[in-house]
Structure 1
Amino acid sequence: MVDVAQSNKPNSPLVPVLGLSFFAVASGFLMSLIPLSLSANDLPSALAPWLASVFYFGLLTGAFFIQRVVAKTGHRIAFIVFLLLLTLTVALQVMLPQVTSWIIARFLAGIAVAGVFVVVESWLLMTDTAKARAKRLGLYMTSLYGGTAVGQLAIKPLGTEGALPYLFVIGLLLLAVLVPLLIKGGQPDNHHSQPLKLSELKSLSRPALMGCLVSGLVLGPVYGLMPLYIAHTDYAPNTGLLMAIIILGGMLVQPLVSFLSPRCSKRLLMAGFCVIGGLSVSGIAWAGELSVIMGCYLLLGACSFALYPIAITLACDNLPGSKIVSATEIMLLSYSVGSVIGPLLAAYVSVATNGLPVYLAVCLIATSLYMLLNSNRRMPANDTQVADI
């Protein structure tokens, strides 16, 4: 085992961020690879929304017990276990390209990814100040979305046929596993981690829960259905590029989110991003030039991926460190509910022309109205300790 100087510091961000970077490239590529490789594996294209939903159902299932796994094993070992589980699911898809096996694999992958998210988020959020939490979460989101954007660019050189693209994903996930294996220090003190009591759940910010829910309602279809939507438009040759631009928008907005989140109303911040996101979706549906389309996809990514970090920092404001793992688990649960429902709802309306953009616009505009109504009440600067609608 190798110790890195920084990893010896209590709760160092080195291991989660470095491991997450490899994970993000792999999952970003896999996100678009799965729906685009269905025909090459003799699987029906109608399976795509079901694979997306069962993945997020796995995410939802995992959110119920991950806190106990982390509390028992510690962050580092849990990180290794969940990454290895995800690697095994990808191998299962390569070995058994069948409907049933892929559905099972994506369900287990959802559980594994839920574990990765809760481990990394709680690892980074277990610090003393709201400003430090926002900064670390911005670093987390930048690594996640930056890696995911890079992963999208692998579609063109590696293609979507055969085992090679999936073996590339497996290789990246094994590199992610090596990080916590080789760097054994720097994890937070976990023996004080405590679950939230039922009475404490009622005090969690409802706008925070709503922000995570809508993030799932939007990002589930973006991940699972947007590649197919683009592939059926005039911009089909640019599917990988446009998906990468969406993720790039999510990465580029994170420093702005980190700066604004501790300094202004998080409710108003989410409302503003939702309004801009709704307008960008209109551009996607009706703009006629590639440069305009690219700009709209960039804005959609920025606004869609801004919701979750703002909501989760709102939820964790004023929480003691011992409750952070449990709080991130609950926020992930809310996100997962939206992610399970989102692809199915979007698939239902997508039979119409521009059905997916219309669905996304409705979700974002409705959320902005909710946040604006909620922000009308007088609030302290940190957006907590106020009665929510």
Structure 2
Amino acid sequence: MRLVPLYFHLILLTLGNAFLLTLVAVYLNAQGASAAQVGLVGSAFYLGMFGASFFADKFIQYCGHVSALILCCVTMALAALALTWTDLLPLWLILRMFAGVAAAIGFVAVESWVLGVAPLNQRSRSMARYMLVYYFSYGISQLFIDWIPLSGILGFCLAAGLCLLSVVPLYWTQRPDLNGDPTTSMVANSKPPRSERALGLVGCLVAGMLLGVLSSLMPIQLKQLALGEEVGLYMAWLILCGMAFQLPNGTLSDRLGQKTMMAVQTAMIGIGCLLLWECEGKSILLLAFALLGAGGFTLYPTTMAYACGKMNGRALVKMTQKLMFVYSLGSLAGPMMAGMMLERFQAGLFLFVILLVTGWGIWLLMMRLLSNKPVGTTI
């Protein structure tokens, strides 16, 4: 219950930020901007997120979690409003970069908060609830595109208003004590072995590549397979299955172990892609998308909870920052690599995902074989 105000903050902030991400692209396209310019503005946001991953932990340590979140919300709101004051592309790039920096710091603050206050044996469930709230809010935000006039400033004002409104629930939050019980601080703050942290970091990189590819290139792949008329249906089903499996995945990860669930997720993603590649028929396609969504959208929270181990305090915030860094790197690199394969092969996206999860599965197996050997204590 103590995280309920934080979840309300996350809902409002995600509604504003996710709606703005789509609004910026639609608005620029309506104003006659080229596809290259639209892509450049979109990349500026993620470049800001990438840059913030180098200093987010120090910023949060200096300001505190609540103050950092308030500053991020205000920055995102002002950056959204400022977009209505100018049509100059360089200024839009700078404003979207500032918004990306604020968003990244906010993600690190919220994720380290959620992990830090959760009991060590329930961290996967806590991350599952966090991801469920996030994906639900992200999906609802896209409905605003059909409800709000996109030609004027109303959409930008709505996005800015939601970002500012997200500050209100923080008034009822209890400031997180991420250091836990002093009698157990030495145990709680101990770093997991290097192999475990390496596995978590690589897992977040794979998750970033996978989710970046699914969100940006799956509609194009479906059109190449003559399924263009049902793109919306399949994409909605993909996200819905990812949301539905969050809570069961969190419970199973805490009970069976996160490594076990990583292997299950890898198998689900691989089987789903093979079915999409080889099979036809609506029922098979729905099953394949269910497996792909359920496995793909739960890999990030599972690997993140695993990489953080029993960390608390500054160590937890710092690890969350590293995970944000590799996830952002994967989100940038994945679509570029998959796009090149999609140009050369009709089912290039499925081939890329199969190769990706095969490599990840081999890495997972290697780390399991090395788990009983001394591999150091630092990354």
Could you tell me which of 281, 295, 300 is aligned with 1:303? 295
Could you tell me which of 249, 260, 269 is aligned with 1:277? 269
Closer, same or farther in 2 for the Cα pair 1:92/1:250, shift >3 Å?
A: farther
- The question of whether the paired residues in 2 share the 8 Å contact of 1:41 and 1:97 is answered with no
Could you tell me which of 185, 188, 197 is aligned with 2:176? 188
The one-letter amino acid paired with 1:188 is P
> Separation in 1 of the partners of 2:162 and 2:144?
12
1:378 shift after superposition: 5.4
Greater helix share, structure number: 2
- TM-score, normalising length from structure 1? 0.80
Q: Identity over the aligned pairs, expressed in percent?
A: 27
Q: Quick check: 1:374 aligned with 2:367? A: yes
> Separation in 2 of the partners of 1:15 and 1:106?
27
User: In the alignment, what sits opposite 1:345?
Assistant: 337
Q: Quick check: 1:89 aligned with 2:79? A: yes
User: In the alignment, what sits opposite 1:44?
Assistant: 34
- TM-score, normalising length from structure 2? 0.82
Q: Structure 1, residues 242-270: CA drift from partner, whole Å, max 9, x if none?
A: 44433322221211221121223423422
Closer, same or farther in 2 for the Cα pair 1:33/1:241, shift >3 Å?
A: farther
Q: Quick check: 1:29 aligned with 2:3? A: no
User: In the alignment, what sits opposite 2:57?
Assistant: 67
The one-letter amino acid paired with 1:277 is I
For the aligned residue pairs, the C-alpha RMSD in angstroms reads 3.6
> Separation in 2 of the partners of 1:162 and 1:228?
29
Q: Secondary structure at the match of 1:189?
A: coil
- The question of whether the paired residues in 2 share the 8 Å contact of 1:52 and 1:343 is answered with no
1:114 shift after superposition: 1.0
> Separation in 1 of the partners of 2:324 and 2:226?
36
Could you tell me which of 116, 125, 128 is aligned with 2:115? 125
Aligned length: 369
- Summarize the alignment of residues 118-267 of structure 1 with structure 2, pairs less than 5 Å apart: 118-127=108-117, 129-158=119-148, 162-180=152-170, 182-183=171-172, 185-189=173-177, 205-226=197-218, 236=228, 239-267=231-259
1:226 shift after superposition: 4.4
Closer, same or farther in 2 for the Cα pair 1:26/1:240, shift >3 Å?
A: farther
Closer, same or farther in 2 for the Cα pair 1:387/1:69, shift >3 Å?
A: closer
User: In the alignment, what sits opposite 2:353?
Assistant: 360
> Separation in 2 of the partners of 1:227 and 1:86?
29
Q: Secondary structure at the match of 2:310?
A: coil
Q: Secondary structure at the match of 1:205?
A: helix
- The question of whether the paired residues in 2 share the 8 Å contact of 1:49 and 1:224 is answered with no
> Separation in 2 of the partners of 1:299 and 1:356?
16
Closer, same or farther in 2 for the Cα pair 1:153/1:368, shift >3 Å?
A: farther
1:338 shift after superposition: 1.3
Q: Which moved more, 1:201-210 or 1:63-72?
A: 201-210
User: In the alignment, what sits opposite 1:3?
Assistant: none
- The question of whether the paired residues in 2 share the 8 Å contact of 1:272 and 1:368 is answered with no
Closer, same or farther in 2 for the Cα pair 1:296/1:23, shift >3 Å?
A: farther
1:210 shift after superposition: 0.4
> Separation in 2 of the partners of 1:245 and 1:369?
29
**What 5-or-longer segments of structure 1 have no aligned partner?**
1-5, 7-11
1:95 shift after superposition: 4.1
User: In the alignment, what sits opposite 1:328?
Assistant: 320
1:35 shift after superposition: 4.4
Q: Quick check: 1:110 aligned with 2:103? A: no
